[in-house]
Structure formats: C-alpha cells, structure tokens
C-alpha cells in the first residue's frame, strides 16, 4: 500500500532519521515507538503528506485514502457534532444532493417521453446504485454508532462542537476519520483523550479494520492488543520487528544486551589501539605502523547503544506515619453545576490499605469527586479524614502550583528525604529529565514536562494517602512501569483515576464507578469491569423462539416426550432459582464484611476477597444456566 524509499528528515540540529526504506502492507497493524523527540509524529506527517521529507520518496497506491489523527487539530467548531460528521463525506453528499435535484425535476416535469426525461431516470438509477455501493442508507446509523462508541450520546451530538472541550473535539475528529472508511489509519496518541470504555471500543474497532494502521501510543496494552508489527526510531534509523510491543521489547532488550557487550569489547580494543598509536607515533621506525593503526581506527564503525537504563529502577513512595483503621469518610456527598447533577448521596468509608481505581466515562464527575474529597470545591454532604491521615494529591493541573523560578533539580531536592536523595538524578531520569534537562527552570518547561516533574515531586513526598488524577497522561511506557511498581509497593492507601488499563491491571483491589449519578463499588478486575461496560455495544443475535416448534411431532409419543422435557426444564429452573437466591444472600453477607474490611490484615482480606470472587463466579454461571434453561423453555411454546 505504501512504500518508503531512502526516506530522510533533517533538522538544524541533525537528522531525525535517514535512508529509511520499508513497505507498509494492507493488514499491517504497526506500533511506532521511540524516545520523545525521535521523530515519530514527523514520520506520520510525512506519510500523510502534511510535510515533505528532506530526502527520499513516499510511494502510495493510486486513490489510497489516508485518515490521519494528529495531536494538534484545527476544526470548524460551528456545526453540531452530528453535522460535522454527516457533511464530511463529500462524495456521499454530492450524490445525495444530485438525487434530490433529479427527484424534484421529475416531479415538476411532464415531458415523460422526452429523451432528457428518460436521461434523468437513467442518471437517477446510476446515482442510487452508487449511493447504495457507498452504503449511503446506513450513513446516519454508522455516524451515531461511532459517536456512541467514542463516548457521545444521542443528546450531546446535537450540540455545536464549540461547546465541547479540546479532548471531546479530538474524539469528534477521530469519529470523522473512522466513519469515512480510509484505507490507512495514522493515529498519533489516539487514546490520550478517551476514557477507559472508549479505548476498549476503539481497540475492538481496529482489530476488524480492513486496512493498514500505524499507531503512536504510550498505552502498552492497547499496542499489544491491536498491533502485529513494531517500528522503532532509534539512532536515526528505523528498526522493524514483526511483533506486538511486549514481544518486541523482550527481543530488543536481548539485542541491546548483545550490543552493550560488543561495545565494551570495541571500546577496549580502541583504547589499546590508541595507546599503541601514542606510543609509536614519535618513533621514526614505527611511524608507518602508527599511521596504519590510525587509518584502522578511522575505518572502524563505532557501535552505538540506545540506553534503556531506567527499566531496572525501583522507586518507592515514602510512608509518613501509620494512619488509623479508616482514612476517609463520605456522608451524603453530592455535586451539581446549575442543572447538571453529577452524583448524589455518596456514602462510603475508605479503610486503611485500600487500593481504589475510580473509573467511568468522561464527564461523569470523576475529577469533581476527587476535588470534593480534597475540599477544593463546595459540595453537598460531609467529608471527614481519619486519624493521622497525610494526603499527597496529584491533580491534572498540578504543574501550575510549582515555583517557576526554580530548576528541575531544585524542585525535587527541596522535597526529598532519606536515602532517595542519593539517587535524585536517576529518579529524574526515570521521568525523562536527563543531562542538562535537570538544570532547566520550571518556567521554560513544556506542559508535558511540568506534569512529569509534578508527578516526580509527588513521588518523593512522604504521605499515607495518595490521590492521583490521571497521573500517566504525559508518561512514556517505562516511566509508567516505574510509577506502577512504586504504587504496588506503597504501604498506604490510594485512589487513582486513570484510563490506562495496563497501568491499572493488578494495581487495585476495588473499583469505584460513577454511573447514573451514583457511586457504585465493584470488587472484580478492571478486565471484567470493561467486559460488562462494553456489553451494550455488542449486538447479540436474536433468539428464534419458533425454531423448534416447527420440528415438533404430532403423535402421542412425541407429545409425551415434549411434556416430560418441559417438566424437567421447569424443575431445573426452580432448582437454579433457589440456588441463585441462596448464593445472593451469601454474597450480601460477604459485601457487608468487605465494607468494614481492614486491608492492613493482608491474609484475612485476601482470603475474604478470594471467597467472594469464587462465589460471585459461581453466581454468574448459575445466572447463565438459568437464562439458557428459560430460553429453551420458551422455544417449546
């Protein structure tokens, strides 16, 4: 589909990449990775023809349609969300307008036998045929389904784009790209402005997409689930691996280890050669020998190793003091903005040692609830902290609170305590501040850099209760791993809002979900939570209740068998209903115990949660059995 030939892109400070030649095929699902500034977004802009390469060529199939989602979009925000998508397909719109024009003329004209009238009929047939080939009759339905999958609802798609935030406008642009059926998708950080449910929807969409996909993303799970090939921009080259991210990373680590060993040997050889040159250069009888060694060094191709040192870092959040048995209590907490009610009657107690993921679709009030907990905004109800609670809070706008006159190093140096002070530069390196970066003033940092520094500062602040609102937004995959490991080893309590499934996987022991203005509590995994949330988007095949009735016999023996079968089904249904009722009562007792559970007693809490999950799984199986039996019984009618 696309062929890159000796491609290169040059900046004043040097090449981002050069002499790149590779083929992109129809069913490729490519993850494009590399360090910040390596040239990932630049490569997508070149392929999409937004910019021209410094050298080389991009060859494409004729009439190839490319859908490109960049991080910087400029939209006409006057139309509604629906109209923005509806009017985006020029070919469909042109056909639809022409069909309407022809129908109007046919109604007004009376020269039914004329050649021009018959010509209009032929043109109408041709337009209708093309319209059907382009699935024009399903156009509105596809628009609505795509918008719903990306988090919009039937009410807000009628609102102008200007009433939405930049993140929601980005979703609308992504929806516009998807509904227009490109042959190639170029997606630059597509999950940045999506909630955890919309990310799963997009993932399922891309798995069945009939074309090539190139994705830049810091979401490891998204890359693993969608891609089958990885391109890494490193040392001005593009390395090609026929694997998804995790497998690529394993092989790349092995390759880097081999290169590191080869570089050590080469450095040793070069040092020895240089010593010989220095020793014999001044001696007349050895001058020719020295010159040959110099030429040998000049011809030597130096091995370059792209450092990946932060993988092995192990950073821990410092615990300040041990708090009491409970750390937070909410009584009848609610919040509204004018006529918009986000949540109401939130009543919950957070025990010491709980690890909570606060999830839900964007706009349901996750960040608002966090601000209520922090008492940063007014709210209904009462919020109370437990004994000795020491909160460390990371907000999405946390970077704005830092002293802009201080350097990166000074910002963390003033907060760090204990042994970690010896490794401050390594900690900063884990959050992508390396070399001279640590001496930059906060006021010259980009928004993403400030956010990373704020998170690094928080990580060094002693606390016993962490509240983190989207902490991974500006982190690369390695930095997220370091943060996740620090949270896993954290001895305190935390609440984290995040849309990163891989980051959340195995991190929490409880899910808070804001839905229908209520805070719902779940004890299952993030994977199961998403499975349940995505169920409405999965179209189930209707059950044909008449399927078996046509096959019934009319003789006495057949009717007798049918009666016996019906009786058995009814008996099995009653037994299953009784078992479900008993198990629901048992789970209700478990939930009461879990509500007051002391998570600091790891053995007791682990056993109780495991028993709860086991019985809950059994309940799910019984419910499925009941549905199957009931469906079979209905089919006999």
Domain shared by 337 and 365, yes or no = yes
Return the structure tokens found at 351: 């025990």
Using alpha carbons, select from 173, 195, 148, 192 the residue that is nearest to residue 68: 173
- 442, part of any domain: yes
Domain shared by 491 and 517, yes or no = yes
- 508, part of any domain: yes
Return the structure tokens found at 474: 């500006």
Using alpha carbons, select from 535, 517, 387 the residue that is nearest to residue 465: 387
Question: What's the rounded Cα separation, in Å, for the pair 225 and 243?
Answer: 11
The last residue of a domain, from among 38, 64, 90: 64
Residue-level pLDDT at 58: 92
Domain shared by 501 and 553, yes or no = no
The three-state DSSP-derived secondary structure of 16-58 is: EEEEEEEEECCCCEEEEECCCCCCHHHHHHHHCCCCCCCEEEE
Compute CA 438 distance to the chain's CA centroid, rounded to the nearest angstrom. Answer: 29
- 271, part of any domain: no
- 526, part of any domain: yes
**Do 230 and 244 contact (CB within 8 A), yes or no?**
yes
Ramachandran category for residue 515: left, alpha or beta (phi over 0 → left; psi -120 to 50 → alpha): beta
Domain shared by 519 and 630, yes or no = no
Ramachandran category for residue 423: left, alpha or beta (phi over 0 → left; psi -120 to 50 → alpha): alpha
Q: What is the edge-to-edge ordering of all strands in the sheet holding 237-241?
A: 66-69, 184-188, 212-216, 29-33, 229-234, 237-241
Q: In which residue are the tokens 């000795």 written?
A: 388
Residues of the chain with pLDDT below 50 are 309-312, 539-554
Q: In which residue are the tokens 């010491």 written?
A: 352
Domain shared by 472 and 580, yes or no = no
Compute CA 123 distance to the chain's CA centroid, rounded to the nearest angstrom. Answer: 47
Return the structure tokens found at 354: 């709980």
DSSP H helices in 154-244: 166-179, 196-207, 220-226
The three-state DSSP-derived secondary structure of 420-460 is: HHHHHHHHHHHCCCCHHHHHCEHHHCCHHHHHHHHHHHHHC
Reported as half-sphere exposure (CB side, CA atoms, 13 A), residue 636 has a value of 17
Question: What's the rounded Cα separation, in Å, for the pair 61 and 65?
Answer: 9
Q: In which residue are the tokens 């810091």 written?
A: 218
Question: What's the rounded Cα separation, in Å, for the pair 204 and 178?
Answer: 13
How many structural domains compose the chain?
3
Domain shared by 517 and 626, yes or no = no
- Range of the structural domain that residue 565 is part of: 540-635
The last residue of a domain, from among 531, 564, 579: 531
- CATH number of the domain to which 624 belongs: 1.10.287
Question: What's the rounded Cα separation, in Å, for the pair 553 and 565?
Answer: 14
- Per residue in 98-157, pLDDT (tens digit) is 998 988 888 888 888 888 888 888 888 998 888 888 888 888 888 999 998 888 888 889
- 87, part of any domain: no
- 386, part of any domain: yes
Question: What's the rounded Cα separation, in Å, for the pair 315 and 483?
Answer: 8
- 445, part of any domain: yes
Return the structure tokens found at 440: 């930059």
- Per residue in 19-71, pLDDT (tens digit) is 999 999 988 999 999 877 788 999 999 999 999 999 999 999 888 999 999 88
Domain shared by 468 and 423, yes or no = yes
At residue 308, what are phi and psi to the nearest 5 degrees? -130, 40
Question: What's the rounded Cα separation, in Å, for the pair 152 and 81?
Answer: 9
Question: What's the rounded Cα separation, in Å, for the pair 220 and 265?
Answer: 34
Domain shared by 520 and 402, yes or no = yes
Ramachandran category for residue 257: left, alpha or beta (phi over 0 → left; psi -120 to 50 → alpha): alpha
Domain shared by 492 and 561, yes or no = no
Q: In which residue are the tokens 């615990």 written?
A: 319
The last residue of a domain, from among 15, 39, 64: 64
The three-state DSSP-derived secondary structure of 316-379 is: CCCECCCCCCEEEEEEEEEEEECCEEEEEEEEEEEECCCEEEEECCCCCCHHHHHHHHCCCCCC
Domain shared by 466 and 503, yes or no = yes
Strand partners, 522: 511
- 119, part of any domain: no
Domain shared by 521 and 547, yes or no = no
At residue 607, what are phi and psi to the nearest 5 degrees? -65, -45
- CATH number of the domain to which 331 belongs: 3.40.50.300
Compute CA 632 distance to the chain's CA centroid, rounded to the nearest angstrom. Answer: 40
Return the structure tokens found at 394: 């990371």
Domain shared by 622 and 555, yes or no = yes
């Amino acid at each position: 589909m696309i062929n890159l030939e000796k491609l290169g892109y040059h900046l004043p400070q040097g090449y981002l990449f050069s002499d790149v030649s590779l083929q992109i095929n129809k069913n490729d699902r490519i993850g494009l990775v590399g360090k910040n500034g390596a040239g990932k977004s630049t490569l997508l802009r070149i392929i999409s023809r937004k910019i021209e390469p410094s050298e080389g060529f991009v060859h494409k199939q004729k009439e190839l349609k490319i859908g490109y989602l960049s991080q910087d979009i400029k939209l006409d925000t006057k139309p509604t969300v629906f109209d923005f998508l509806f009017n985006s397909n020029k070919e469909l719109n042109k056909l639809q307008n022409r069909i309407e024009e022809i129908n109007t003329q046919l109604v007004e004209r009376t020269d039914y036998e004329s050649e021009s009238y018959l010509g209009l009929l032929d043109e109408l047939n041709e337009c209708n045929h093309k319209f059907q080939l382009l699935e024009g009759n399903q156009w509105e339905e596809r628009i609505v389904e795509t918008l719903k999958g990306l988090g919009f609802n039937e009410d807000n798609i009628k609102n102008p784009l200007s009433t939405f935030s930049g993140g929601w406008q980005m979703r609308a642009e992504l929806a516009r790209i998807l509904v227009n059926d490109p042959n190639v998708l170029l997606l630059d950080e597509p999950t940045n402005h999506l909630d955890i449910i919309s990310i799963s929807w997009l993932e399922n969409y891309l798995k069945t997409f009939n074309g090539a996909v190139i994705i830049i993303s810091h979401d490891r799970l998204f890359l693993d689930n969608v891609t089958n090939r990885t391109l890494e921009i490193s040392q001005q080259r593009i390395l090609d691996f026929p694997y998804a991210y995790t497998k690529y990373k394993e092989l790349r680590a092995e390759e880097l280890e081999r290169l590191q060993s080869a570089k050590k040997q080469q450095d040793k050889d070069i040092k020895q050669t240089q010593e010989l040159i220095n020793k014999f250069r001044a001696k007349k009888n050895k001058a020719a020998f020295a010159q040959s060694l110099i030429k040998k060094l000049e011809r030597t191709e130096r091995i370059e190793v792209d450092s990946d040192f932060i993988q092995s870092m192990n950073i821990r959040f410092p615990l300040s003091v041990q708090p009491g048995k409970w750390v937070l209590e909410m009584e009848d907490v609610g919040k509204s903005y004018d006529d918009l009610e986000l949540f109401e009657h939130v009543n919950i107690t957070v025990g010491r040692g709980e690890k909570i993921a606060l999830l839900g679709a964007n706009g349901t009030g996750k960040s608002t609830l966090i601000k209520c907990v922090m008492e940063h905004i007014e709210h209904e109800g009462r919020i109370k902290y437990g004994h000795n609670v020491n909160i460390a809070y990371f907000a999405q706008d946390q970077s704005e609170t830092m002293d802009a006159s201080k350097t990166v190093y000074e910002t963390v140096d003033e907060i760090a305590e204990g042994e970690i002070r010896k490794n401050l530069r390594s900690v900063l390196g884990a959050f992508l501040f390396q070399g001279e970066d640590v001496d930059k003033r906060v006021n010259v940092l980009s928004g993403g850099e400030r956010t990373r520094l704020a998170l690094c500062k928080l990580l060094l602040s002693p606390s016993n209760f962490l509240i983190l609102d989207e902490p991974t937004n500006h982190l690369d995959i390695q930095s997220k791993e370091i943060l996740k490991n620090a949270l896993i080893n954290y001895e305190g309590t935390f609440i984290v809002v995040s849309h990163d499934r891989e980051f959340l996987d195995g991190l929490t022991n409880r899910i808070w979900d804001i839905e229908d203005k209520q805070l719902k509590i779940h004890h299952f995994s993030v994977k199961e939570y998403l499975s349940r949330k995505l169920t409405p988007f999965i179209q189930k095949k209707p059950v044909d209740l008449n399927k078996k009735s046509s096959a019934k016999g009319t003789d006495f023996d057949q009717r007798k068998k049918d009666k016996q079968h019906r009786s058995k089904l009814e008996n099995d249904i009653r037994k299953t209903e009784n078992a479900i009722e008993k198990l629901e009562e048992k789970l209700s007792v478990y939930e009461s115990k879990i509500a007051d559970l002391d998570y600091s007693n790891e053995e007791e809490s682990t056993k109780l949660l495991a028993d709860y999950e086991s019985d809950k799984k059994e309940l799910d199986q019984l419910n499925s059995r009941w549905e199957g039996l009931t469906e079979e019984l209905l089919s006999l009618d």
